[in-house]
């Protein structure tokens, strides 16, 4: 089997793994057991779209497919979260969104794919702030399954990259690190706040 064919197969596998994590997430949103934060998903959707085009321009090939697909799915969740997502918007959330848009402004004025990816990776990490704040306060209103699958899909995508350079490698590696820290934070918080121990809303009489 030629190397290119091998990378294409891995690219398809990475996309399937990544998509699989969204199936239970969409189900949980419909059930209202998960409440995504619109600010985070907007930032992630825009940044992954940017990284997809930058990586493709530098020969990322099949390894960038999962990022492109992720961008589309993120924007779908962003739209859904407007109606079924987190309603508590704090000053920290607004500040992180403003910082993210400032980062996007820097991207617009640069035509260098590497700098685009560097900025996108930083802004993407900032996009986690609203979701981390919400998940820390209410850890059962966020899914770890989605993020585990997303991280795993990018691990596979690394081996599907058809050109290895800083532009194609930076975002997947930084994403895996940030997602791992996020999942760890949520799991630790769940240990300190058992599901059975959550306060139930008072019944109205």
- pTM beyond cutoff 0.95: no
Q: What percent helix, strand, coil does the chain show, rounded to 5?
A: 80, 0, 20
Residue 139 pLDDT > 70, yes or no?
A: yes
CA–CA distance, 129 with 97 (Å, rounded to integer): 9
CA–CA distance, 172 with 38 (Å, rounded to integer): 22
Contact 130, 92 (CB under 8 A): yes
Nearest to 120 by CA among 39, 21, 53, 22: 53
Q: Is residue 202 part of a domain?
A: no
Q: Domain of 182?
A: 3-193
Q: In this predicted model, which residue has the larger pLDDT, 100 or 166?
A: 166
Average pLDDT of the segment spanning 95-112: 74
Residue 202 pLDDT > 60, yes or no?
A: no
Residue 33 pLDDT > 80, yes or no?
A: yes
CA–CA distance, 202 with 205 (Å, rounded to integer): 9
Q: In this predicted model, which residue has the larger pLDDT, 45 or 5?
A: 45
Number of domains in the chain: 1
CA–CA distance, 92 with 97 (Å, rounded to integer): 9
Question: What is the phi/psi pair of residue 160, to 5°?
Answer: -95, -10
Q: Is residue 205 part of a domain?
A: no
Q: Which residue has the tokens 């910082």?
A: 99
Characterise 66 by phi-psi region: left (phi > 0), alpha (psi -120 to 50), beta (else): alpha
Q: Is residue 170 part of a domain?
A: yes
Q: Is residue 85 part of a domain?
A: yes
CA–CA distance, 146 with 164 (Å, rounded to integer): 26
Q: Is residue 174 part of a domain?
A: yes
Q: Is residue 176 part of a domain?
A: yes
Beta strands, E only, 6-164: none
Q: Is residue 70 part of a domain?
A: yes
CA–CA distance, 204 with 147 (Å, rounded to integer): 37
Average pLDDT of the segment spanning 160-171: 85
Residue 3 pLDDT > 80, yes or no?
A: no
């Amino acid at each position: 089997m030629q190397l290119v064919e091998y990378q294409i197969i891995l690219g398809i596998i990475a996309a399937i793994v990544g998509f699989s994590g969204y199936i239970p997430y969409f189900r949980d949103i419909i059930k209202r057991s998960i409440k995504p934060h619109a600010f985070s998903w907007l930032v992630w959707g825009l940044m992954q779209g940017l990284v997809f085009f930058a990586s493709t321009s530098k020969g990322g090939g099949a390894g960038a497919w999962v990022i492109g697909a992720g961008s589309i799915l993120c924007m779908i969740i962003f739209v859904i979260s407007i109606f079924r997502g987190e309603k508590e918007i704090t000053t920290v959330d607004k500040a992180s969104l403003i910082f993210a848009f400032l980062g996007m402004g820097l991207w617009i004025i640069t035509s260098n794919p590497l700098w685009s990816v560097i900025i996108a990776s930083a802004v993407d990490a900032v996009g986690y702030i609203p979701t981390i704040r919400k998940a820390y306060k209410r850890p059962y209103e966020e899914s770890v399954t989605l993020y585990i699958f997303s991280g795993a899909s990018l691990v596979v995508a690394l081996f599907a990259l058809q050109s290895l350079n800083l532009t194609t490698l930076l975002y997947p590696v930084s994403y895996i690190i940030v997602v791992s820290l996020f999942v760890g934070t949520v799991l630790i918080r769940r240990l300190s706040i058992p599901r059975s121990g959550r306060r139930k809303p008072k019944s109205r009489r």
